[in-house]
Chains A and B, each alone.
Chain A
Amino acid sequence: EAGVTQFPSHSVIEKGQTVTLRCDPISGHDNLYWYRRVMGKEIKFLLHFVKESKQDESGMPNNRFLAERTGGTYSTLKVQPAELEDSGVYFCASSSQPGSTYEQYFGPGTRLTVT
């Protein structure tokens, strides 16, 4: 079974440009999460999808960030326009229905560098 995949693995863009990150969860996982780790800080939650619906987007930093999950499969996270402080590693995770084996499976992350 394939794990969570993320694309690209690394992106370098200039301030003011747009970047779109993609996450493909484990097949059949309804829950999809985005997290971000800024250098030197902890990994922080951005938002949570259940299928195609946003369950919780309380961690989204501002309206320059737009997440979508059309059809309840893969998800994209767009940053427009990018700012220097958006640099960091963006992780995606997915999980199946919550229960006693609750576990979030993480992808390798996308390292975003805004110059």
Chain B
Amino acid sequence: AQSVTQPDIHITVSEGASLELRCNYSYGATPYLFWYVQSPGQGLQLLLKYFSGDTLVQGIKGFEAEFKRSQSSFNLRKPSVHWSDAAEYFCAVAIDQAGTALIFGKGTTLSVSS
């Protein structure tokens, strides 16, 4: 069965420092990959997605992610974190585009220190 692993439950980063959140998936073929963010009191917001093509994907709010097939990874990065980035981040996969369900990781909570 497909699964998504986010190894870090909680990460604290200083404001202005770089960020990398890890995501590994288990699936035989290349899935459709997503990163969502949930700020307190808000719904999940899509940061970026990868379907095919360029393995470095740019998203909103200055985030990017890189798909590495050899490592089954889709890590999220941001060069300089802002205090407003404090939130919970979810990596998710879908096995196709035909309206199938998303499979989520357990999430990584990001705290930003000043």
Contacts and interface: CB of A to CB of B under 8 A. Distances in A.
Interface of A: 3-4, 31, 33, 35, 40-45, 48, 50, 55-56, 59, 91, 93, 95, 98-100, 102-109
Interface stretch (B21-29, B42-50, B77-85): B42-50
Given A91-B44, A102-B94, A43 B104 contact: yes
B43 A50 contact: no
Q: Closest 9 interchain pairs by CB?
A: A45-B101, A106-B44, A106-B43, A43-B104, A108-B43, A42-B106, A102-B97, A98-B97, A98-B99
Nearest to A45: B101
A21 to B, nearest CB: 14
B99 A50 contact: yes
Q: Which of B42, B43, B45, B104 has the most CB of A within 10 A?
A: B43
Contacts of B44: 91, 93, 106
B114 interface: no
A55 B99 contact: yes
